[in-house]
Structure 1
Amino acid sequence: MSMQLSPYLMMNGNGKEVIQFYEKALDAEILFNQSLGEMCENSDYPIPAEAKEFVGFASLKIGDSNLMLSDQHPGQPHQIGNQVTICIRTENNEKTKQIFEALQDNGQVIMPLQKTPIFPVYGIVTDKFGVTFQIYTEVQL
């Protein structure tokens, strides 16, 4: 079974600028880029007009590695130093649940496992050592 770890950056409204910078500085290739407005247009959580152009989710290829990023959702605090998390991608919902449950032992659930517009199972947990993970099942299209 395949599992992949990737860094994930949470930006403070400047995600587009970050992408442009990494394209030039690191020769990054944009694999996917969707605005927050596009991502949440049919959501139960309306996005303020001023945040609709924020990066909802982007994936960049840099050399042999992937880097993911998004802008922080409006109303969520942004802290310098805590904007880097680790993503764990699996290809199986049960494996995603197993990893999430193991990491939450003596840790803190930030977002319970749930279906999102992009992933069938997604959650965020900080482990007992203070490391935050975004765990998700990726469906091959």
Structure 2
Amino acid sequence: MAKLYSYLIFNGTCQQAFDFYKSVFNTEYSDFSTFGDMPQDDAPDPLLESDAQRVMHVCLPINKDYKLMGSDSNSKSGDVIMGSNISVSIDADSREEATRLFEGLSKKGYILMPLTNTFWGAYFGMFTDKFGVNWMINYDEVK
């Protein structure tokens, strides 16, 4: 069965926020990368210097069953409005489950990123459902 997590988006303060959460929960990052860590070979638009140090993805395990995840906005996505900067992130157990959940939940919604194979080894997509809730669907091809 899929696992659900909270995913927080910040306007350039993600690392400071997650350093704070890390100190409170007394745990360590299981994943941390910046936009500057992304391969630029196939990028349609060049990465702006101002975006390179922003957090692309961070994962902070809170306990054995729950992770808090986050990232920064960037110049392409634009700033988020605080309060609407949270997504429900689903880690699917299979590619088929990811597709089923994505297609079902995104019906009559707005697709921000269709399900696609990513450079980090996942099958991943993002959308806002017809009720305005932000979702991320992920299946790690490499476990």
Fold match (TM-score > 0.5): yes
Alpha-carbon shift at residue 24 of structure 1 (Å): 1.6
1:40–1:80 distance in 2 versus 1, CA, 3 Å: farther
Residues 49-82 of structure 1: CA distance to partner in whole angstroms, max 9, x if unpaired? 1221111111001134201111112232211111
CA contact (8 A) 1:87 1:135 kept: yes
TM-score, scaled relative to structure 1: 0.88
Q: Is the Cα–Cα contact under 8 Å of residues 40 and 47 in structure 1 kept in the other structure?
A: no
> Which residues of structure 1 form unaligned runs of 5+?
none
Counterpart CA distance in 1 for 2:120 and 2:74 is 16
- Residue number in structure 1 paired with 2:38: 39
Q: CA distance change for structure 1 residues 57 and 43 in 2, over 3 Å: closer, same or farther?
A: farther
Match of 1:11 in 2: 10
TM-score normalised according to structure 2 size: 0.87
Contact between 1:91 and 1:139, CA under 8 Å: does it hold in 2?
no
Determine the C-alpha separation between the residues in 2 that align with 1:42 and 1:57.
20
Paired position in structure 2 for 1:98:
100
Q: Are the aligned partners of 2:111 and 2:127 in contact in 1 as well (CA < 8 Å)?
A: yes
Size of the aligned set, in residue pairs, is 140
Percentage of identical aligned residues: 26
2:86, 2:46 → 1: CA distance? 25
8 Å contact from structure 1 (residues 120, 139) kept in 2? yes
Aligned equivalent of 1:125: 127
CA–CA separation in structure 2 for the residues paired with 1:48 and 1:33: 20
* Residue equivalent to 2:68: 67
Instruction: Write the deviation string for residues 97-130 of structure 1: whole angstroms up to 9, x where unpaired.
Output: 1111101222221211112222432111212222
In structure 2, stretches of 5+ residues that fail to align are none
- Partner Cα separation in structure 1 for residue 38 and residue 133 of structure 2: 27
**SS at 1:86 equivalent:** strand
**3-state DSSP of counterpart to 1:30:** coil
1:35 Cα deviation from its structure 2 partner: 1.4
* Cα RMSD (Å): 1.7
**In structure 2, C-alpha distance between the alignment counterparts of 1:91 and 1:118, rounded to whole Å:** 17
Q: Which aligned pairs between 1:102-117 and structure 2 lie closer than 5 A?
A: 102-117=104-119
- Shift, 1:42, TM fit: 3.7
1:43 deviates by 4.2
